[in-house]
Structure 1
Amino acid sequence: MIDGKKIYKENIVIDLDVNTKEEVVETLAELLLKNGFINNLHAFIKDVQERENHMTTGIGNGIAIPHGKSSSVVESTVVFAKTTKYIEWESLDENPVNIIFLLAIAEKDKGDGHLRILADISSHLMDDEFVNEIKNATTENEIEQILSSI
């Protein structure tokens, strides 16, 4: 991560029009490839799907935090997406999601770095005001501003 920054404006997607969690992961992975954060699309998608098959990353309240620790990640980052419709994610509360934080974790950040990013996001998501701000935001700029505290 450059200067500890985790979320870049080019990795924020509002109104993502997809129908399945597989489409979410594929579309966001393509964005990471385009923006230079990963260098192997298929390897990264496979790593995220393997993690998802192990245990759901749908944490409830309409939010999912899929992640992939992968040698294909050039620089660890987070992609934020808000979908146009709710997506089935086998969430812990059994409700679909429309807020997704996709973590792309480089091998060098696999241990503490990955857990720190996950903990930072998770602690913010326990704050109802923070979650409401995200859910009510309608532009990339608003999301970038809200997420700059993570």
Structure 2
Amino acid sequence: MSNTITPQLVSLDEPLGTDKQAVIRALAERVVAQGRATDAAQLYADAWAREEKDETGLPGGIAIPHAKSASVTEPSLAFARLSPGVAFGADDGPADLVFLIAAPDTAAEAHLAVLSKLARSLMDDDFTAALRAATTTDEAVAVVRGAIGEGDAVPTAS
């Protein structure tokens, strides 16, 4: 079994675009580049259709765009730390921590389990501080894996 998130699915302070469409598209392309989905345009379209129904921005500078898509071959979590942040519809401003959850269209339970675990962790200030303080993609992956139950305990920011 592979991991839901890998260092190749993480972007730390790289320019991915100035709006949420560009960020979602860039993360979808990253999922496809890692062989976890077959069609970036389809994954983007599915995530964007979900985003149009209900924006995925959360308080505290967080966004969790997500989709079940026929193009996804392996449940995946792509993460971007953005500087500057991008508006995802949260009342308190732009998001600097963005997670794209990409699940096969047949994997509703896995999709919901990751979303639930991640959402709970994002309410933990130590978790978000650790993501904002991460200096490498490996460090960010370790933080997220701990939160979603794929690794050891979540390291905290010092």
Match of 2:122 in 1: 125
* Contact kept in structure 1, 2:57 and 2:87, CA below 8 Å: no
**Structure 1 residue 137 and structure 2 residue 134: aligned?**
yes
Aligned equivalents of 1:50 and 1:133: distance in 2?
31
Q: CA RMSD in A?
A: 1.2
Q: After the TM superposition, which residues 100-115 of structure 1 pair with which residues of structure 2 at under 5 Å, given as runs?
A: 100-110=98-108, 112-115=109-112
Runs of 4 or more consecutive aligned structure 1 residues displaced over 2 Å after TM superposition:
none
Which sections of structure 2, spanning at least 5 residues, go unmatched?
A: 149-158
Q: Distance in 2 between matches of 1:148 and 1:43?
A: 26
Mean Cα deviation higher: 133-142 or 118-127: 133-142
- Which secondary structure does the structure 2 equivalent of 1:99 belong to? strand
1:42 maps to amino acid: A
Q: Distance between the aligned counterparts of 1:129 and 1:148, measured in 2?
A: 14
Identity %: 30
C-alpha separation in 1, matches of 2:145 and 2:73: 21
Equivalent residues of 2:12, 2:81 under 8 A apart = yes
AA in 2 matched with 1:123: R
Q: SS in structure 2 opposite 1:148?
A: helix
TM-superposed deviation, 1:107: 1.8
Say which SS state the counterpart of residue 7 (structure 1) adopts: coil
* 1:45-56 equivalence runs, <5 A: 45-56=44-55
Greater share of strand: 1
TM-score, length of structure 2 as denominator length: 0.88
Aligned equivalents of 1:139, 1:109: Cα separation in 2: 30
Deviation at 1:14, TM superposition (A): 0.7
Q: Aligned pairs, how many? A: 146
Query: Are 1:66 and 2:80 an aligned pair?
Result: no
Deviation track 1:85-138 (CA, whole Å, cap 9, x = no partner) reads: 1111111x341011101000112212x211101011011111111111111212
Question: How far apart are the structure 2 equivalents of 1:130 and 1:29?
Answer: 24
Instruction: Give the residue type in structure 2 aligned to 1:53.
Output: E
TM-score by length of 1: 0.92
* C-alpha deviation, 1:78, in angstroms: 0.2
Higher relative contact order (Cα pairs below 8 Å, separated by 6+ residues): 1
Q: Which residue identity is paired with 1:6?
A: T
Q: Deviations over 1:24-50 (max 9, x none)?
A: 011111111111111011111110000
Match of 2:9, SS state, is strand
